[in-house]
Amino acid sequence: MAQFFKKRRRGAPGPSKNELKVRRRRADANEAAQQRPLAEEIPGVQRVTLQLDFLTPQRQVLDQQTHVFNATDTPEFTAECLGRCGGTGIFDLSDKVQQAVNARQRTLQSTDLCAERIFPGSSETCGFQLQSTIDIVFAPANG
Ligand SMILES: [Zn+2]
């Protein structure tokens, strides 16, 4: 277990190309979302609750998080992988949330596998998993 948490050795100081890429990706995602509140982002939805279980490749629970977004909150449907990729892997649940909303489904469960390499050029992938439960509270229909 402990070996997973060893700090990566760094060559040149400053962020690596990969880290810059991830930062750009996040900036893009934020721009796309434009920091809008949930009620504007997904009309007709009152609350979204994300229950996130981070699992090791051996399916041991590494961390559990619950995120609740109410109508006026700015939702954040992405989670950084806590595994061996060192946070390069990003689990993005926004499509799943949208999918559940479109289907007017109140609960959606999924398991996603982090396929990031554990370091650039490695053939080994991270393999950590995110088990998520998305709970959606729909706003009462108008009229
Ligand atoms: Zn990972």
Q: Which of 17-21, 25-29, 47-51 has the lowest mean pLDDT?
A: 25-29
Spans of all domains in the chain = 16-138
pLDDT at 26: 65
> What pTM did the predictor assign?
0.73
Quickly list H helices, 1-143: 17-33, 38-41, 94-102
Q: Which amino acid is at 1?
A: M
Task: Quote the percentage of the chain above a pLDDT of 70.
Answer: 75
- DSSP symbols for 11-43: SSSS--HHHHHHHHHHHHHHHHHTT--HHHHST
Would you state the pLDDT for residue 30? 56
pLDDT at 6: 47
* Residues around ligand 1, an ion, CB closer than 5 A: 81, 83, 85, 89, 114, 116, 126, 128
Residue predicted with more confidence, 25 or 127: 127
* Predicted confidence (pLDDT) per residue in 4-15, tens digit: 544 455 455 566
CA of 9 to the centre of ligand 1 (A): 17
